[in-house]
Amino acid sequence: MNNEIISLSKKASAKIFITSGLFIFLVIIACAAISGCFPLNNANGESGSSYAIDYSKSERWLSLPSSPNKKVDIFYIYPTAFQKVDSNEANICAIDNAVMLNRSKVSFASQATAFETVGNIYAPYYRQVDATYSLYLSDEEHDAIMSGIPKSDVFAAFDYYINNYNNNRPFILAGHSQGSNILLYLLSDYMKTHPYVYSRMIAAYVIGYSITNKFLADNQHLKFAAGAGDTGVIISYNTEAPTVTMANPVVLPGANVINPISWTREEILAPASENLGSLSLSLTGEVLAKNVLNYGDALISKSRGVLVCSTIDAGAQFPGNALIAKGIYHNLDYALYYNNIRANAALRADKFLNQ
Say which DSSP state 209 is in: S
CA 308 to chain centre: 18
**Is 166 part of a structural domain of the chain?**
yes
Question: pLDDT at position 34, please?
Answer: 30
Find the domain containing 279 and state its range.
Answer: 40-354
**Is 4 part of a structural domain of the chain?**
no
Query: Per-10-residue mean pLDDT for the chain, 355 residues long?
Result: 37 34 32 34 39 96 96 96 81 86 96 98 89 65 81 96 98 95 96 97 97 97 98 97 87 96 98 97 90 97 97 78 73 96 98 95
Task: Give how many domains the chain has, as a whole number.
Answer: 1
**Is 12 part of a structural domain of the chain?**
no
> Shortest CA distance to 188 belongs to which of 145, 218, 226?
218
Question: pLDDT at position 221, please?
Answer: 97
**Is 7 part of a structural domain of the chain?**
no
**Is 28 part of a structural domain of the chain?**
no
Question: pLDDT at position 320, please?
Answer: 60
**Is 74 part of a structural domain of the chain?**
yes
**Is 22 part of a structural domain of the chain?**
no
**Is 209 part of a structural domain of the chain?**
yes
